Chains A and B, each alone.
Chain A
Amino acid sequence: MLSPQKNLEAYYLEARRDLLEVASMLDRYDRSVEKEGQRAEDESRLNSLLEAMSFLSDKDCPKSNRTEQLLVHFAKVS
């Protein structure tokens, strides 16, 4: 396993890219709402993503199982 510092060095840029993709997806949704003048009939997927990000923003995760938690969380949305 890589050291804590090496982990950040190895994966930071890819994680940054992935977060930018999420941000741009949310911006894209907002622009479509603005253009159409209405929100999606079913926003459960949007809400699921936003809730998922609240999990991730917590620096402490005693069991280091964020991925597992997210998979369980996403399973609630069809």
Chain B
Amino acid sequence: MQIIQPHYHAIARTAQDYERMAMSGVVAVCEPAFWAGFDRRYPETFIDYFAQISEFEPTRAAEFGIRHYCWVAVNPKEAENKELTDEVLRQMPEFLQKPTCLGVGETGLHKSTKNEIESLQAHVEIAMKHDQLVLIHTPHLSDKAHGTKTVLEVLAGMDVNPDRIWIDHVEEQTIESVLDAGYWAGMTLYPVTKCSPRRSVDILEKYSTERLLVNSSADWGPSDPFTLQESIVEFRRRGHSLQEAVEIYHNNPCRFLGQNPKWDIKPITISEE
């Protein structure tokens, strides 16, 4: 089965991930800009990082036949540094022109501070100005419900097209509000702190799957890119067809990401002879 990994932090992973993902059917990964585990001090560090994910990382993925795309942003944690954020945002449009850059992300909220909210607004404004897709991070654990509500309130006050915005890391307590507002919703599967493969399939069975994305968001912390495949196996184990799986784990990412013409992977149909 052909699989798309819509949220994956490749620079934190080894080539062995790529090799195993290729063996398991992954044809493309998308790498949003994120927090490195420490707060970067210089805008130039971000610029080098954006160059790494927009220029170098596609070559590493290509060694294994995997297409690599990226998103650029100042993540919510570092958005607390307003001066740094403003300077990175000033230089960010250059990277939106890169042939594998799909949009602005992951922006969003961590602790829902004033600076984070202003940064989220600024990111969304740049995305709308440059006709870009947006990927929005929602907080973890006890901050999730409040942070997601705040994200929705911020977006409600802006002139945005919900079709072009993906709100990520939804769980059972936040998914309805995201879908009801017309946005795409992403489930991130983590071994401990986010959604699990089985719970993701519960959500797929409970809600309309038209605007749902599933990802592993594998990074430098406790995470595993193959939680995505675990979700697929669980989905199939419950009797859902191969085509239904393809619709969710391949075609839905194509439908959302395909709104950016740089994404040229098309939805597929499994034919039976």
Chain A residues engaging chain B, CB cutoff 8 angstroms: 13-14, 17, 20-21, 24-25, 27-28, 31
Additional A-B contacts beyond A13-B193, A17-B191, A31-B202 (5; CB < 8 A): A17-B193, A17-B196, A24-B172, A24-B196, A27-B202
- Chain A's nearest CB lies how many Å from the CB of B235? 13
Partner of B199, one of A13, A14, A24: A24
Q: Are B206 and A20 in contact (CB under 8 A)?
A: no
Question: A residues within 8 A CB of B196?
Answer: 17, 20-21, 24
B270 within 8 A of A: no
A14 to B196, CA, bound (A): 12
Question: What are 23 pairs between A and B in contact, CB < 8 Å?
Answer: A13-B192, A13-B193, A14-B192, A17-B191, A17-B192, A17-B193, A17-B196, A20-B196, A20-B199, A21-B196, A21-B198, A21-B199, A24-B172, A24-B196, A24-B198, A24-B199, A24-B202, A25-B198, A27-B202, A28-B202, A31-B202, A31-B205, A31-B206
A28 to B172, CA, bound (A): 13
Question: B residues within 8 A CB of A20?
Answer: 196, 199
Chain B residues engaging chain A, CB cutoff 8 angstroms: 172, 191-193, 196, 198-199, 202, 205-206
- Chain B's nearest CB lies how many Å from the CB of A49? 16
Main secondary structure of the interface of A (DSSP, over half): helix
- Chain A's nearest CB lies how many Å from the CB of B40? 27
A27 to B264, CA, bound (A): 39
- Chain A's nearest CB lies how many Å from the CB of B256? 26
- Chain B's nearest CB lies how many Å from the CB of A39? 19
A14's nearest neighbour on chain B, judged by CB, is B192
- Chain A's nearest CB lies how many Å from the CB of B55? 37
Q: Enumerate the 9 nearest inter-chain pairs by beta-carbon distance, A residue then B residue, closest first.
A: A24-B199, A17-B192, A13-B192, A24-B202, A28-B202, A14-B192, A13-B193, A21-B196, A24-B198
A25 to B196, CA, bound (A): 12
Question: A residues within 8 A CB of B206?
Answer: 31
- Chain B's nearest CB lies how many Å from the CB of A34? 11
- Chain B's nearest CB lies how many Å from the CB of A59? 22
A21 to B200, CA, bound (A): 11
Question: A residues within 8 A CB of B199?
Answer: 20-21, 24
Question: B residues within 8 A CB of A27?
Answer: 202
B201's nearest neighbour on chain A, judged by CB, is A28
Question: B residues within 8 A CB of A28?
Answer: 202
A20 to B172, CA, bound (A): 10
A17 to B171, CA, bound (A): 13
Question: A residues within 8 A CB of B191?
Answer: 17
B200's nearest neighbour on chain A, judged by CB, is A24
A23 to B64, CA, bound (A): 39
Question: B residues within 8 A CB of A13?
Answer: 192-193
- Chain B's nearest CB lies how many Å from the CB of A4? 21
Question: B residues within 8 A CB of A25?
Answer: 198
A17 to B199, CA, bound (A): 11
A21 to B196, CA, bound (A): 8
- Chain B's nearest CB lies how many Å from the CB of A57? 21
Question: A residues within 8 A CB of B172?
Answer: 24
